[in-house]
C-alpha cells in the first residue's frame, strides 16, 4: 500500500491536501480509505462492510484485522473476500489518483468497475497463473509488420497513458554531461513532459534510463501505461531474460521491478518520427538549453 510518506519522498507536489472525494477533510490515509463518507459507501457497496466499525484503530491495524479475519477462512469461496477487500483498497486509491491527476469526476460506479477489474486479475493469480507473465506479442523476427513490444500485467479499464521517450547522447571528451533523457505524455488532456541531463556511457544506456525515468515519474499516477521508444535494443533486452548486456542489465531489472506498481506496462518500438517530441526535448536538455 503506497503511503503518504512515500508520495512526499517522491516529491509529488501540487497535491491538494483536502480529500478529493469529499473536499471536506484533510486527506490522511485513514480518512481516504475508511473515514470518508464516500469511501464508506464504497465499502458498503463492494463488500457490505461497515467501515466505521473499528474506526478507533490506525488504518494499518484496521486493514490488518480484516485480512487476518479473511485468512482464517478455509473455503476457497470465502477466501475470495480477501481479494475483494484488497481490490476495494486499490479501487479507492486509483480513483483518487484519477481525480487528482486526470481531473476525473468523482464517480462511485467507476470505482466499482476498477474493483471488479482488479478482482478478475487477482483471481487469475489465485488460479496459479503468474500475475506479471510477460506477454510476447508477435515475434518481430518472423512477423515484421508487428511492432516489437514488451509488456507486463494486464490491461485494466482505465485510460492508457501513452508516453514517448528518448535519449540524446554524444561522446565528447571532457563533457561530463554527455547525455540527456526526456519523456512526453501523448494523451491530449495531459501536457506533461520532463527532461534531465544524466551521465551515461552509451546511447542504449541513455535510452534505458529514459524508459526508467518515465515509469518512475508516472508511478502512482496511473495504472496503465505505454512507453514508446525508438531503441530496439532496449525492447529486446526487456523481452529476453536470458541474454545479458552489462551496460543495461541493472536498468532493465529496475524497469521490470517498477512495472509491478502498474496494472499494465507496455514498451513498444516505434520509428524515429514516433518520438520526435521527446527527441527534441532530450537534445535541448543535453545542450543545456533547458
Ligand atoms: Zn473525504
pLDDT tens-place string over residues 63-78: 999 888 887 776 666 6
pLDDT grade, residue 13 (50/70/90)? low
pLDDT grade, residue 192 (50/70/90)? confident
CA of 87 to the centre of ligand 1 (A): 19
The domain that holds 205 is classified in CATH as 3.30.420.10
Whether residues 81 and 220 share a domain: the answer is: no
Instruction: Please state, rounded to an integer, the average pLDDT across all residues of the chain.
Output: 82
Residue 8 has pLDDT above 60, yes or no: no
Residues 6+ apart with CB under 8 A from 197: 177, 179, 180, 285, 286, 288
CA of 36 to the centre of ligand 1 (A): 4
The grid cell for 173 is 571528451
Whether residues 139 and 52 share a domain: the answer is: no
CA of 38 to the centre of ligand 1 (A): 6
Largest CA distance in the chain: 67
CA of 22 to the centre of ligand 1 (A): 4
CA of 53 to the centre of ligand 1 (A): 17
Closest CA to 171 of 195, 206, 196: 206
Percent of the chain residues past pLDDT 70, beyond the cut: 80
Q: Which residue has the cell 520526435?
A: 276
Residue 142 has pLDDT above 70, yes or no: no
Determine the pLDDT at residue 136: 38
CB 266 within 8 A of CB 162: no
Whether residues 192 and 116 share a domain: the answer is: no
Question: Domain boundary residue among 105, 126, 147?
Answer: 126
Residue 227 has pLDDT above 80, yes or no: yes
Residue of higher predicted confidence among 39 and 198? 39
CA–CA separation, 1 vs 11, rounded Å? 18
Residue of higher predicted confidence among 278 and 81? 278
Residue 209 has pLDDT above 90, yes or no: yes
Structural domain boundaries, residue 239: 134-286
Closest CA to 238 of 129, 148, 160: 148
Residues 6+ apart with CB under 8 A from 285: 168, 180, 181, 182, 195, 196, 197
The whole-model pTM stands at 0.54
Whether residues 112 and 192 share a domain: the answer is: no
Residue 61 has pLDDT above 80, yes or no: yes
The grid cell for 255 is 524497469
Whether residues 92 and 47 share a domain: the answer is: yes
Determine the pLDDT at residue 5: 54
Question: Domain boundary residue among 108, 126, 144?
Answer: 126
Determine the pLDDT at residue 160: 87
CA of 34 to the centre of ligand 1 (A): 9
Whether residues 189 and 152 share a domain: the answer is: yes
Domains contained in the chain, number: 2
- Residues linked to residue 195 through DSSP beta bridges, in sequence order: 182
CA of 27 to the centre of ligand 1 (A): 7
- Residues linked to residue 144 through DSSP beta bridges, in sequence order: none
CA of 88 to the centre of ligand 1 (A): 16
| Start-end of H helices in 33-107 | 37-47, 59-71, 76-101
Determine the pLDDT at residue 190: 64
Whether residues 102 and 182 share a domain: the answer is: no
CA of 228 to the centre of ligand 1 (A): 37
Whether residues 109 and 140 share a domain: the answer is: no
Question: Domain boundary residue among 102, 126, 150?
Answer: 126
Whether residues 168 and 78 share a domain: the answer is: no
Q: What residue ranges in 154-259 does DSSP mark as E strands?
A: 161-169, 179-185, 193-198, 224-229
Q: At what angle do helices 232-239 and 203-218 cross, to 10 degrees?
A: 70
Determine the pLDDT at residue 16: 62
CB 172 within 8 A of CB 131: no
Mean per-residue pLDDT, 208-229: 90
Amino acid at each position: 500500500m503506497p503511503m503518504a510518506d512515500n508520495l512526499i519522498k517522491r516529491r509529488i507536489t501540487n497535491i491538494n491536501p483536502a480529500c478529493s472525494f469529499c473536499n471536506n477533510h484533510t486527506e490522511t490515509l485513514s480518512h481516504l480509505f475508511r473515514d470518508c463518507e464516500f469511501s464508506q459507501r464504497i465499502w458498503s457497496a463492494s463488500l457490505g462492510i461497515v467501515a466505521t466499525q473499528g474506526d478507533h484503530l490506525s488504518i494499518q491495524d484496521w486493514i490488518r484485522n480484516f485480512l487476518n479475519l479473511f485468512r482464517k477462512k478455509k473455503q476457497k469461496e470465502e477466501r475470495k473476500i480477501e481479494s475483494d477487500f484488497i481490490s476495494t483498497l486499490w479501487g479507492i486509491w486509483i480513483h483518487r489518483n484519477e481525480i487528482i491527476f486526470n481531473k476525473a469526476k468523482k464517480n462511485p460506479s467507476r470505482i466499482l468497475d476498477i474493483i471488479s477489474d482488479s478482482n478478475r486479475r487477482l483471481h487469475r493469480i489465485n488460479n496459479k497463473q503468474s500475475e506479471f507473465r510477460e506477454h510476447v506479442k508477435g515475434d518481430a523476427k518472423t512477423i515484421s509488420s508487428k511492432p516489437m513490444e514488451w509488456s507486463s500485467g494486464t490491461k485494466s479499464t482505465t485510460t492508457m497513458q501513452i508516453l514517448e521517450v528518448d535519449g540524446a547522447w554524444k561522446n565528447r571528451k571532457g563533457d561530463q554531461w554527455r547525455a540527456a533523457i526526456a519523456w512526453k505524455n501523448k494523451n491530449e488532456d495531459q501536457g506533461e513532459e520532463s527532461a534531465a541531463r544524466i551521465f551515461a556511457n552509451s546511447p542504449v544506456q541513455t535510452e534505458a534510463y529514459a524508459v526508467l525515468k518515465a515509469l518512475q515519474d508516472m508511478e502512482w499516477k496511473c495504472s496503465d501505461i505505454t512507453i514508446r521508444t525508438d531503441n530496439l535494443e532496449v525492447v529486446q533486452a526487456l523481452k529476453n531474460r536470458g541474454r545479458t548486456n552489462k551496460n543495461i542489465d541493472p536498468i532493465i531489472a529496475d524497469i521490470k521491478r517498477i512495472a509491478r506498481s502498474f496494472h499494465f506496462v507496455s514498451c513498444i518500438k516505434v520509428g524515429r518520427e514516433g518520438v520526435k517530441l521527446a527527441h527534441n526535448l532530450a537534445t535541448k536538455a543535453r545542450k543545456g538549453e533547458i
